[in-house]
Each structure stands twice: as C-alpha cells, then as structure tokens.
Copies of this chain bind each other. A is one copy, B any other.
Amino acid sequence: MNRSPWTQARRAARMNPSIIREILKVTEKPGVLSMAGGLPSADTFPVEAIQAACDRVLSHQSKEALQYAASEGYAPLREWVAQRVGALGLKATPDQVLITSGSQQGLDLVGKLLCDAGAPVAVETPTYLGALQAFTPYEPLFASLASDDQGPLPSAIEALPHDAPGTRFSYLLPNYQNPTGRVMSQARREAVMEASRRAGVPVVEDNPYGDLWFDQPPPQSLSALWPEGSLYLGSFSKVLTPGFRLGYIVAPSEIYPKLLQAKQAADLHTPGFNQRVVHEVIKDGFLDTHVPRIRALYKANRDAMADALRQHLPQGCDWQSPEGGMFFWIRLPEGLDAMALLPRAVDAGVAYVPGAAFYAHQPDPRTLRLSFVTLTPALIREGVEKLGRVLHEALAMAEAPTP
C-alpha cells in the first residue's frame, strides 16, 4: 500500500487533534487545582435516590428498560419535560419533546439537520466551545454576533445575511452563559426574538444552566417568545447527574419529524434504562427540593470565588460576579495572554480554560474562564491565590524593561 486509505475524505483530512482537548489534558495533572472543566460538584449527585430508582426499574420494568426502545424517548419522561418547560412559559405537548443523549447530542442533531456547507450560522461572542465543535463538522460559515454584557445585540441579528444560502439559525444561551456567565434581561430577550422573527432566522436556545440561579430566577425562555421559530435544548446534567447523559429538545411540530429521523440515524435511541431511572427519581417532585440545595452550594462557591478574586487578582483584571450558573469570566490587563500563561499556571498548581477557545473568530487573548462548581470554597480560595501570584509575576515581567 503506497498511501493511506483513510485520508481521502474532506472531513477526515481537516480534522486534527483539537487544541482545547490538548489544553485540557494539561490541566488534569495530579496536584493541580483545576477550575477548567465545567464539572458539577459530585456532592450534588443524588446517589441514594438513583440507587433506589435503579432497583425499582430493574424489579418492575426490566424487560422494557433493557430492550430497544422508541427513538422519541420514554413517554412519561417526555410528558414530564413538557410540563417542566411549560412552567418556563414554553407551551409544548409531549409530542414535541425528543429525549437526547445529553444536550451535546441535541447540538449535533441540530447541526446535522440545519447546517449546510458554507451557509451562515450565528453564534454569540464568545460562545460555548462544545457547540462550535458540534456544528463544525457540518461546515457552516460562523457569524459572530456582536454582543455586550447582556448577550447578542438585536441589531446584529437584524444584520444577518438573508440572501441565499441564508442564515440557518442563531445559537443563543440566555441564562448564565457558558463561558461568560452573563444573563439576558427580559427587554433584551424581547428585542432579540423580535429581530429574529423579523429576519426569519430561527433560534436554537440552549439552557443547561437556567435552574442554577442564586437570588432570582432568570426571565422568560427565549423560545416562549417565538415558539414556532425556536428549538429549546435542556439537560439533566446540571441538576441531577451528567453521567447518565440525558438531555432533550423541544421542537415545533414542523421540524420534529426530521429531528427524530436524525436521532434514529445517530444512535437509535437514548438508553431506555437511564430514561426510566431518571424519571423514577424526578417524577414526584424530587427536583423541587434537590435543585435549591445545588443553588445554595453553588452560591456559596460563587461568593468564595468573588472574594478571592477581589483579594488576589492584580489591578486591571476585569470581571462581573455571575448571578447563576457555573462560571466567572475574567479579562486580564493589557499585555497578558491567557493561553500563553496556562503552562505557568499549571506549574504553579492551578488551571483554567483560556477564553480564546470560545470564539468563532478573533479571540480575545486576555480572557479566561474559571468554574466555581467543582472545588470546595477552601480550594477555590487556594486556587485563586495561586492564579493571582502567577498573574502578578507575569505583570511584573511584562512591565520590566527588556534587557
């Protein structure tokens, strides 16, 4: 054989080991206090409730739970989701709910169905890295929406290209956005959705963090403002466990059958066992007491990180304290580069994600993301102190005259 038989395909040729994957590997060194990954606190996993539910499912529904199942998902879980999103103002029937293998799969199905090579897809500036990864194989032309601390500007949505091939959709995270932690106000939501409707550009609303509010719930779901033009993605990863990989899409009836076909082609169905166990855990109001516990825990962590940042970060660093979710978004003083500093931070025993990974275009090299949900408050303080030391040193070096 003279040449590799694998390199003909365009996508295979284009795909190279992801830079961010390589970065995150570095952060996994033993002894490093990692605030990089968005891993929920393991203390929030309801182990006993899950154990009891596994027992009940295997004792009473084993033949159904262990057999092939419908691609749409487990009917009682779909009903539960329809009620849940109804409480957020999004009216939907169970027939509009598709259970997915985590909401990451929801993003993949959206990409598979709606992206065409070279057609624009609008994203926030910055946006969730995993969405860029999910859409990229379908070769969209990303359009970065001009954004402020409330999210994308309505004017940027109005300015999206309509000419063929036409903007396929905007991907928006209204609540405690990953990576910035920002939340869209009610007025911004209304303006963004009105602009989307006028432009005829559908909205893919991703809401993994909406339940993690600290003082007051976020405003209305975007999809509630234009249901027939919106897809809504939800997840059980942040309120129950990520290890079951359970999410959902709520879709208008017009697009649902096509999403369902894409789902069937992708993995036939999400594990029926996992769907039944989760339904068994949540069906009688478990989340009504469980989620407030998570909120209280994360709020205390947020406070610990806010205090530590004020105490240890050098002047010229900029951030806002998030009102929910999992992340602080930090902007370093001029002259510092978060990507370049990461190896030094890891050597000093602390890790973050450089913000550059979250931009579809022109990254801001001074940004970085810190998660406050994985470590305890004491370790958060220790990690931020170490980070502060690295930044102070880097600033001193940047300001020293070059010999």
Contacts and interface: CB of A to CB of B under 8 A. Distances in A.
Given A1-B197, A11-B112, A68 B39 contact: yes
Contacts of A268: 102, 104, 130, 245
A55 B52 CA distance: 9
Interface stretch (A236-244, A289-297, A318-326, A349-357): A236-244
A80 B30 CA distance: 26
A391 interface: no
B264 A266 contact: no
A4 B254 contact: yes
Interface stretch (A146-154, A180-188, A269-277, A360-368): A269-277
Contact of A267 (B51, B102, B137): B102
A88 interface: no
Contacts of A51: 54-55, 58-59
A337 interface: no
Nearest to A264: B133
A314 interface: no
A5 B174 CA distance: 21
A9 B116 contact: yes
B62 A134 contact: no
Contacts of A242: 66-68
A34 to B, nearest CB: 12
A117 B116 CA distance: 11
Interface centre among A5, A112, A137 (most CB of B within 10 A): A5
A14 B356 CA distance: 36
Contacts of A244: 66, 271, 273
A76 interface: no
A46 to B, nearest CB: 9
A18 B259 CA distance: 12
Q: What is the total number of copies of this protein in its complex?
A: 2
Contacts of A54: 51, 54-55, 58
Contacts of A115: 9
Interface centre among A104, A242, A252, A268 (most CB of B within 10 A): A268
Interface string A1-14: 10111101111100
Contact of A168 (B8, B40, B237): B8
Interface string A29-61: 000000001011010010100110011001100
A105 interface: yes
Interface centre among A3, A37, A62, A243 (most CB of B within 10 A): A243
Contacts of A137: 112, 262, 265
A63 B50 contact: no
A108 B266 contact: yes
A86 interface: no
A66 B39 contact: no
B168 A119 contact: no
Interface in A107-137: 108, 112-117, 119, 130, 133-134, 136-137
Interface in A145-191: 165-166, 168
Given A265-B134, A267-B104, A65 B243 contact: yes
A257 interface: yes
A5 B119 CA distance: 14
A310 interface: no
A8 B45 CA distance: 42
The 3 A-B residue pairs with the shortest CB-CB distance in the complex, in nearest-first order: A66-B243, A42-B63, A66-B241
7 contacts: A1-B228, A21-B264, A42-B63, A54-B54, A68-B243, A266-B266, A274-B274
